Amino acid sequence: MAMARWEPNAQQRLQQAAGALFAERGYADVTVADIAERAGLTKRTFFNHFPDKREVLFADAAAFEAAVLKHLAAADPALAPLDAAVEALAGAGLSDLAKYGEYAATRRDLIASSTELQERDLIKTAALTAAIAAGLLEREAPPRTTAFASKAAVAVFIAACDDWIDSPRANLATLIYQELAELRRAVCGA
Amino acid sequence: MAMARWEPNAQQRLQQAAGALFAERGYADVTVADIAERAGLTKRTFFNHFPDKREVLFADAAAFEAAVLKHLAAADPALAPLDAAVEALAGAGLSDLAKYGEYAATRRDLIASSTELQERDLIKTAALTAAIAAGLLEREAPPRTTAFASKAAVAVFIAACDDWIDSPRANLATLIYQELAELRRAVCGA
DNA sequence: GCCAGTGATTGCACTTGGTGTAATGACTTC
DNA sequence: GAAGTCATTACACCAAGTGCAATCACTGGC
């Protein structure tokens, strides 16, 4: 309250405060009031910016989804649905995910520590999958194909991201195509 | 082993009360106190039987998972991981899912109406997927293969269940293998 | 400089989900 | 009939989330 009440980046400040507090005490032992207080705001203001406590960790998922859709629309029309989806994810991941840097591992561990956060994570990737499926529909692919292809692409992407977090020196695109090969082996025989 | 203490089926009564109330007024407009009252119990007792409000709709997921694992352990060791997983899901689904009958559609619509319930549904299928992956590991399959094969099998099973709900006269096993063929087409080329 | 307007922030009261703890009730066993 | 067990209950409590009205900071017109 001693500070000026009108600092410009409320949303971002809340995200940073939440990230710091979660890293210190864990997700469950941090209250929304705590987060707001560290950001110099109030609980009520937190809920003006985020619909619930979990969402503060998933705010940029929408931007990533938009990036994937943009890459998907720009992908070579000759590509098969699965390949187009994988390429779109790779393209968006290379630019969008690189900035996460070392924070990615912390974030992954944090999500893994709370079933609440896992649930939110799952529904976010489900939304991404559905968006990709819709994007594939624009490419004259049959609905069932889009459903399976989008799910497969996202599964490959997530597996590759996990690989990348464990060894960040590797090239994400390379990891993605390795996992894609693994998927094809698992699904269509050795 | 006292069988009849008070009314013996508190858990079941709570599930039925919840199902009825959710069908009447929707998930969001029913409170836990409402459910408990209709079952002749208290809010506190509800939370003695279910860890939270959503879980009352997913109580039998554990039994289904156990059934799948049993079928998986009994599957032909010569089968490829994906085929073994699909067969296990088909076997468990045929016996366990048939008694849902017409309630299956209501339940699906209810879950579709609430993001809270979708999240819980997603984490339950994720748990099932992980269990299947662990079961496949027992069959000397490499870890990455088990991850992708279990995810693919569950995706196929869910797609087939959706088909079955829309046309319950069809044979679930047939639908499953049709969707499996669709998946292979989507992942490994036309 | 004064005044109205806009939008972010806040205070407050309230509902609901969920938990810890101690007490009560019903039923079994000795 | 006393002791013991276990489900149920009462009660108090915290945290998430919402609706609503009141501020606050800053904008522009005058």
Of A148, A104, A109, residue with least CA distance to A129: A148
pLDDT band at B5 (very low <50, low <70, confident <90, very high): low
> pLDDT averaged over chain B?
94
User: Which pLDDT value is given to residue A6?
Assistant: 66
Q: How far is B58 from chain A (nearest CA, A)?
A: 14
Of B19, B82, B30, residue with least CA distance to B56: B19
How far is Cα A104 from Cα A93, in angstroms, rounded to an integer?
Answer: 13
| Mean pLDDT, range B124-146, rounded to an integer | 96
Whether B3 has a pLDDT exceeding 60, the answer reads no
Whole-model pTM? 0.93
How far is Cα A166 from Cα A164, in angstroms, rounded to an integer?
Answer: 5
- Which of the two residues, B1 and B144, has the higher pLDDT score? B144
User: Which pLDDT value is given to residue A2?
Assistant: 30
B53-92 pLDDT, tens digit per residue, is 999 999 999 999 999 999 999 999 999 999 999 999 999 9
- Whether residue B188 and residue A186 make contact (CB cut-off 8 A), yes or no, is no
For chain A, give percent helix, strand, coil, nearest 5. Answer: 75, 0, 25
CA of A33 to C1' of D17 (A): 12
Burial class of residue B37 in the structure, from the number of CB atoms within 10 Å of its CB (0-12 exposed, 13-18 middle, 19+ buried):
middle
| Mean pLDDT, range B110-133, rounded to an integer | 98
User: Which pLDDT value is given to residue A5?
Assistant: 45
A84-141 pLDDT, tens digit per residue, is 999 999 999 998 887 887 889 999 999 999 999 999 999 999 999 999 999 999 999 9
Of A24, A51, A48, residue with least CA distance to A38: A24
| From B80, B81, B186, residue closest to A81, measured CB to CB | B186
How far is Cα B119 from Cα B55, in angstroms, rounded to an integer?
Answer: 11
How far is Cα A134 from Cα A125, in angstroms, rounded to an integer?
Answer: 14
Q: Which residues of A touch B (CB under 8 A)?
A: 80-82, 115, 118-120, 122-123, 126, 144-145, 147-149, 151-152, 155, 159, 179, 182-190
In eight-state DSSP terms, residue A58 is S
The greatest distance separating any two alpha carbons of chain A, rounded to the nearest whole angstrom, comes to 66
User: Which pLDDT value is given to residue B1?
Assistant: 39
How far is Cα A112 from Cα A106, in angstroms, rounded to an integer?
Answer: 10
Six-digit token pair at B53? Answer: 């409000």
B95-113 pLDDT, tens digit per residue, is 888 788 788 999 999 999 9
| From B81, B123, B144, residue closest to A122, measured CB to CB | B123
Chain A CB contacts of B183 under 8 Å are 148, 152, 187
